Chain A
Amino acid sequence: MEVILGNIYCWFESLFGQNLAEYLWGYNCETQVYSGKNLFNSIGLITLGVSLVFVFAYYYLPLFFFNHPRTNRWWNWLMLLFIAGIVNFVIGYAWTINDFLNGNIGDCLMYYRDSDGNIISNLIYKRDCWLFGLSNFFISSMFFIFWSIIFKWWSRNCKHSPCF
């Protein structure tokens, strides 16, 4: 149950790398077990929530262009999916880059050291954080579709947007 979100994120593991993934699973370098917080759950729940908010707004919020007869075209929906994706991209990137820069990620995941303790190579790079953000974009889109399928049916104006 509590690994569902993490497993979903790990479909994209080849994008952001196994080491960042281990960190997000909560791998603790000292104890060598996953005793840390499962950040996939934290970030995943936020992503799930953000996409839900956008979906709900699109279908039900009586404001601006939400739940509006003129924005019930499939490409309006797609735009919103994209926007939600961007928001979640930023969240994903910001969270990981913050941990990356503040040294929250364990040493054994960050660097590959030789027997004297000198760094031979990095294991996690800044670009992995970007790529994690990108993965979060994709996952946000998946969640967006998922919530849409569930919630669109009672929308007054946007019920058939998009038509699945």
Chain B
Amino acid sequence: MNGNPLFVLASIFVLVQASCGNSGQLENRNKNSEVLNHQKTLAIDDSYRPTINVYIENSGSMDGYVKGVTEFEQTLFSYLTDIRITGITDSLNLFYINSIIIPFKSDLSEFIERLEPDTFRARGGNRGVTEISNIINSVLLNTGEKDISILVTDGVFSPGRDANALEYLKNQQIRIRDYMASHLARNSETAVVIYKLSSNFNGRYFNRYDAPSIINESRPYFIWVIGNLRHINQLIASIPDRTEKRVENFFTIIKGNRKVDYAIKRGSGNFKLDRSNPKTEITKLKKDRRTGKVKFAIDANLSRFLLSDDYLLDPNNYTLNNSNYKFSIKNAVSNPHGYTHTFEFNADNVHKGIVIIMLKSQIPQWVEEVNDEIGLTAIEGKTFGIKHQIHGVYEAFTFNNNIYTDISINIK
């Protein structure tokens, strides 16, 4: 929650950045241009021009991010400038947020680029203890159907001197879940994207007891993007590639139980498509003449989930109901139907019946790794309690189930 200058954000939040727990390591990944293409196919829909509200937390813990020229400032300035340039919105509104929301009427450069701790301080509000759940709630309450809210925060919890930290964290998680759920009830199409970046931080770091220490090192910070899935998609699609790829990890979530466009891939095995349901049913499945194995493939369009390619290519993120078959996923070859990925199934023998593969919503591994559960000192690359924020959001979205979509085919 104590601020530091934000850095210019590379426009590679286009999903493909950070790995999402493939091997459990923090990775700076270069974007995958193929996935970028998928996003670029989403046209900007002129009938919906969202309003974009940007909230920068300006509590005391944020000062270190804005001292001097920081990556925090540069990244954010670049990002917000790009948003303005895309023309995706007519109204880009700027706010500072702590216990209250403070609108800022001047230009972007003033808003972020030329910030210094004293000017930061001067923006006002109660810069003392701020509960993250409250900040999130404030932002949510101000996010209507046509709004995109961008919240920039250090994500550090401050339970305070007297509090039981563990209880506090759990409590916060529940609140965040609660606020998120209420918001979801009003706006079921809400999508949440949480980017983790890093910036040089020169200033006071407050630990869980609120005890400060002076540090001058790289510290993580988080950009939350909340809004209608459609607008989020537009936003991501329109932000251009930037050579400075600053996003290190990200987490996205939308409500599950969605339908996606999928079809059995013609010619992917020795079978006939069912005449009445050629996309989802096959008949006369037999062993492949050459290999002697049974195989078939399904193409699907998984582009609307805001998930990275790494996430989608990881079999661990899927559940298959039929243990007779093994599967793997790869990117789909270029096709006019918009399919992004292909599931390939194989088995030794033919097994008839329904095969369902479910894409799960899971919290990526990096969240665990970036999380600091102790919070006594500033640990490099970690944030105290960040996991609970993200879990809270996750739990709100996956209240009923954590299945994004299921792809079901029938082998007759």
Which A residues form the contact surface with B (CB < 8 A)? 3, 6, 18, 22, 25, 27, 30, 32-34, 108, 114-117
Residue B279 at the chain A interface, CB threshold 8 Å: yes
Q: Is the CB of B278 within 8 A of A33?
A: yes
CB contact between A30 and one of B276, B334, B336 (< 8 Å): that residue: B336
Q: Within the assembled complex, what's the spacing in Å between the Cα atoms of A60 and B263? A: 52
Q: Mark B261-280, 1 if CB is under 8 A from A, else 0.
A: 00100110000010111110
A-B contact pairs, 15 of them (CB 8 A): A3-B275, A18-B267, A22-B266, A25-B275, A27-B273, A27-B278, A30-B336, A32-B266, A32-B279, A33-B278, A33-B279, A34-B278, A115-B333, A115-B334, A117-B334
Q: Within the assembled complex, what's the spacing in Å between the Cα atoms of A115 and B266? A: 16
Nearest CB on A from B183, distance (A): 37
Q: Is the CB of B337 within 8 A of A32?
A: yes
Nearest CB on B from A82, distance (A): 32
Q: Is the CB of A32 within 8 A of B278?
A: yes
Q: Is the CB of A108 within 8 A of B266?
A: yes
Please report whether the interface of chain B is mostly helix, strand, loop or mixed according to DSSP: loop
Q: Mark B301-318, 1 if CB is under 8 A from A, else 0.
A: 000000000000000000
In B229-279, the 8 Å CB interface with A consists of 263, 266-267, 273, 275-279
Q: Is the CB of A34 within 8 A of B334?
A: no
Nearest CB on B from A41, distance (A): 12
User: Whose C-beta in chain B lies nearest to the C-beta of A117?
Assistant: B334
In B80-98, the 8 Å CB interface with A consists of none
Nearest CB on B from A142, distance (A): 22
The number of A-B residue pairs with CB atoms under 8 Å apart is 27
Nearest CB on B from A59, distance (A): 36
Q: Within the assembled complex, what's the spacing in Å between the Cα atoms of A119 and B334? A: 13
Question: Which A residues are CB-close (under 8 A) to B273?
Answer: 22, 27
Nearest CB on A from B225, distance (A): 32
Nearest CB on A from B206, distance (A): 52
Nearest CB on A from B331, distance (A): 10
Q: Within the assembled complex, what's the spacing in Å between the Cα atoms of A27 and B337? A: 15
Q: Within the assembled complex, what's the spacing in Å between the Cα atoms of A108 and B265? A: 11
Nearest CB on A from B274, distance (A): 9
Nearest CB on B from A25, distance (A): 7
Q: Within the assembled complex, what's the spacing in Å between the Cα atoms of A108 and B277? A: 18
Question: Which B residues are CB-close (under 8 A) to A114?
Answer: 333-334
Q: Within the assembled complex, what's the spacing in Å between the Cα atoms of A138 and B266? A: 28
Q: Is the CB of A116 within 8 A of B334?
A: yes
Q: Is the CB of A32 within 8 A of B263?
A: yes
Question: Which A residues are CB-close (under 8 A) to B336?
Answer: 30
* Most chain A CB inside 10 Å of its own CB: which residue of B275, B333, B337: B275
Nearest CB on B from A64, distance (A): 43
User: Whose C-beta in chain B lies nearest to the C-beta of A27?
Assistant: B278
User: Whose C-beta in chain B lies nearest to the C-beta of A28?
Assistant: B278
Question: Which B residues are CB-close (under 8 A) to A115?
Answer: 333-334
Nearest CB on A from B38, distance (A): 14
Q: Within the assembled complex, what's the spacing in Å between the Cα atoms of A115 and B275? A: 28
Nearest CB on A from B267, distance (A): 8
Q: Within the assembled complex, what's the spacing in Å between the Cα atoms of A34 and B273? A: 10
User: Whose C-beta in chain B lies nearest to the C-beta of A18?
Assistant: B267
Q: Within the assembled complex, what's the spacing in Å between the Cα atoms of A34 and B266? A: 13
Question: Known pairs A34-B276, A114-B333. 7 more at Cβ < 8 A?
Answer: A3-B275, A25-B275, A27-B278, A30-B336, A33-B277, A34-B275, A114-B334
Q: Within the assembled complex, what's the spacing in Å between the Cα atoms of A30 and B337? A: 7
Question: Which A residues are CB-close (under 8 A) to B278?
Answer: 27, 32-34
Question: Which B residues are CB-close (under 8 A) to A32?
Answer: 263, 266, 278-279, 337
Q: Within the assembled complex, what's the spacing in Å between the Cα atoms of A100 and B256? A: 45
Question: Which B residues are CB-close (under 8 A) to A117?
Answer: 334
Q: Within the assembled complex, what's the spacing in Å between the Cα atoms of A6 and B274? A: 13
Which 8 pairs show the lowest CB-CB distances between chains A and B? A115-B334, A32-B263, A115-B333, A33-B278, A34-B275, A32-B279, A34-B278, A3-B275
Question: Which B residues are CB-close (under 8 A) to A30?
Answer: 336
Q: Within the assembled complex, what's the spacing in Å between the Cα atoms of A110 and B263? A: 19
Q: Within the assembled complex, what's the spacing in Å between the Cα atoms of A115 and B1? A: 47
Q: Within the assembled complex, what's the spacing in Å between the Cα atoms of A108 and B235? A: 34
